[in-house]
Amino acid sequence: MAFDAGMLACTLSELRQAALGARVEKVFQPERDEIILQMRSFEGGRRLLINAGSNSPRIGFSGMQKENPAAPPMFCMLLRKRLQGAKLVEVRQEGFERVAVLTFEGRDEMGFECRCHLIAEVMGKYSNLIFTNADQRIVAVLHPVDFTTSSRRQVLPGMLYELPPKQEKQNPTEQSPERFAALLQAALAGPAGRETLCDRWITGTFLGISACVAREIAFRASGITGAVLGQCSPERLSAAFFEVMDCIREERYSPCMVLDGEKPVEYAFCTLTHYGNLTVRPFDSAGALLDCFYGSRDREYHIRQRASDVLHILTSADARIRKKLELQRRELADCEKGADYKKAADLITSNLHLLKKGMTRVELTDYEDYREDGSFGTRVLELDARLSPAANAQRYYKKYNKSKNAKVELTRQIALGEAELHYLDSVFDALTHAETAADLTEIRDELYRSGYASRMKQYTASRKPSNPTVAQFRTTGGFRVLCGKNNLQNEYITHRLAGKNDYWFHVKNLPGSHTVMLCEGREPGERDFTEAAEIAAYFSKAAGGQNVEVDYTLVRNVKKPAGSKPGFVIYHTNWSCVVTPSAGEIARLREK
């Protein structure tokens, strides 16, 4: 899954072909570790995304639209000052390292023509983005590296830029068949020799080759995965190695992605053939591939970062309620002893003539406990020596009444607690479907209104009331479908946007989004109902499942009980259907 040097060469090849000579129109920094350059050439506009984070570092063209912060960070403002209007004149890769250098021609503060460089180091957790002048002196850096971070290499403004320390490995694009054969022969003569894993030898000997591409080379040479050097013919291994390297040298890339069902597993700049029964999907461009692979992953990662406070409140509330329910259920189980208390009180009352004050224990005959041998059972009762026999009977009667009342109240409290857990579960589900910062703000607003976090007031006090932005889809038959991604959006589309003759969908007995198909006086077809039900199933806790049951009814049958939590509704008259949601189908139906 690594963005290796081969993939970098592939994306830079696309950049040279499509954007060399293009001018930078705008600079955005939607995330702390991500820059987007809006560029325009004679071929049209392009968005170049450079991610220097540890989660998904990469560089390439992107078609994804992202929200930008209200106040741009300092790094973004500097790039806007220096790069807006500048022309991209050179794109190069340093050796076969994961370092891309973009050279721009523009004007400095005095209006003189000058050159500057934007250097992207796409190196996993060590990724960085550095802006230098024509003399390679660092002007700004996205992630400064000082002596406290690294003793080997510092990256700070004012310093001369130096490449990352070289690894003791060979550049694979500079190898000859004779040199490759010599390296292979040396490996076969080593301690592990013929038992060395082929892919491990490739990644340990050559620069910039990911484990995935190394496995592909080994598979092409041996026909099996997990091959060792002894199972590979030197001639076939050399041929497979140079077949892949020639793709880079001649810029004949064929980017592809491996899918397990609909889940992205791996990608590479060349065709992958060693993944067996998994689906290999080719792409026309590396940019489209990276968007497809990292799109949902990036969104989930950044939402998870931004939603840490919401997640903390929800998990704390969930743990508190579950602990409270456990204690209440234990107390409810103890209430079953109420019948024993009443029995003890009745026995004492019927045997007052046998008891005296000061007794601590008594064994009384229970005439209701008749046995097969004709005898009656007995009961041993504990008495309070300080009380009279009648007072002891009253003590047991009080325990009985207390347990009887507690049983009623505990049953009510447990039902309320379970309903609250169900509500929190719906907010957890909404958190998984949040796509933008606005979605998170609505969830915070909802939690504040529901009384879960008074400190959420800071998010709502300065926020002007506005209508929620809901997800919109269009069925094959042309019917508009609205879907809420949280409880505030659910209430908005169900009780304000939908008409009484529109159709309402919701996954059965699970937390999920309210989905409404707007009919506008027409009757939807069978396919329209199926697609709307798939949308409701996809935006629910059953997303990713098969044969998901979805309820649907007319909006007029959906009611909100007075005083209920946001998003809670009841309905009695409904139909049901079974669907299997597909991410690809949902993406097709979604309106841009």
Average pLDDT of the residues of the chain: 89
Predicted TM-score (pTM) of the model is 0.69
Signed CA dihedral, 516, 517, 523, 529: sign only: negative
Band (pLDDT 50/70/90 cuts) for residue 1 is low
Residue 530, pLDDT above cutoff 70? yes
Strand partners, 160: 137
Count CA atoms closer than 13 A to 191's CA, side-chain side: 0
Q: Are 336 and 363 in contact (CB under 8 A)?
A: no
Which DSSP string corresponds to 297-333? Answer: HHHHHHHHHHTHHHHHHHHHHHHHHHHHHHHHHHHHH
Band (pLDDT 50/70/90 cuts) for residue 507 is very high
3-class DSSP assignment, residue 375: coil
**pLDDT tens digits, residue range 38-59?**
999 877 899 999 999 888 899 9
- Please report the pLDDT score of residue 592 as a whole number: 59
Place of tokens 């907010």: 427
SS3 of 456-497: HHHHHHCCCCCCCCCEEEECCCCCEEEECCCHHHHHHHHHHH
Residue 87, pLDDT above cutoff 90? yes
Q: Are 454 and 539 in contact (CB under 8 A)?
A: no
DSSP-derived secondary structure letter, 96:
T
Strand segments, DSSP code E, in 151-253 are none
- Please report the pLDDT score of residue 454 as a whole number: 63
Kind plus residue range of the DSSP H or E element containing 85: none
Distance CA 525, CA 314 (A): 40
Distance CA 361, CA 391 (A): 14
- Please report the pLDDT score of residue 456 as a whole number: 54
**pLDDT tens digits, residue range 130-167?**
999 999 999 999 999 998 888 889 999 999 999 998 88
- Please report the pLDDT score of residue 172 as a whole number: 93
Lowest mean pLDDT among 81-95, 185-199, 296-310: 296-310
- Phi, psi angles (nearest 5°) of residue 35: -120, 140
Q: In the predicted model, what is the mean pLDDT of residues 477-481?
A: 94
Q: Radius of gyration of the chain from Cα atoms?
A: 35
Count CA atoms closer than 13 A to 71's CA, side-chain side: 1
Q: In the predicted model, what is the mean pLDDT of residues 522-540?
A: 94
Residue 463, pLDDT above cutoff 70? no
Count CA atoms closer than 13 A to 288's CA, side-chain side: 8
Distance CA 139, CA 134 (A): 10
Q: Are 94 and 122 in contact (CB under 8 A)?
A: no
Question: How much of the chain is in helix, strand and coil states, percent to nearest 5?
Answer: 45, 25, 35
307 vs 282 pLDDT, higher one: 282
Place of tokens 């409904």: 574
- Please report the pLDDT score of residue 462 as a whole number: 47
Distance CA 187, CA 199 (A): 13
Q: Which tokens sit at 491?
A: 């209430």
Q: In the predicted model, what is the mean pLDDT of residues 315-340?
A: 88
450 vs 4 pLDDT, higher one: 4
3-class DSSP assignment, residue 189: coil
Neighbours of 465 (CB within 10 A): 6
Distance CA 281, CA 67 (A): 29
- Please report the pLDDT score of residue 583 as a whole number: 82
Distance CA 40, CA 48 (A): 11
* Helix and strand counts by DSSP (H, E) for the chain: 15, 20
Q: How far apart are the first and last CA of the chain?
A: 29
Which structural domains are found in the chain, ordered by start? 5-141 (2.30.310.10), 172-303 (1.10.8), 307-433 (1.10.287), 468-589 (no CATH)
18 vs 190 pLDDT, higher one: 18
Distance CA 215, CA 206 (A): 13
Helices (H), ranges, 92-197: 177-188
Q: At residue 99, what is the residue type?
A: V
Count CA atoms closer than 13 A to 576's CA, side-chain side: 10
Band (pLDDT 50/70/90 cuts) for residue 287 is very high
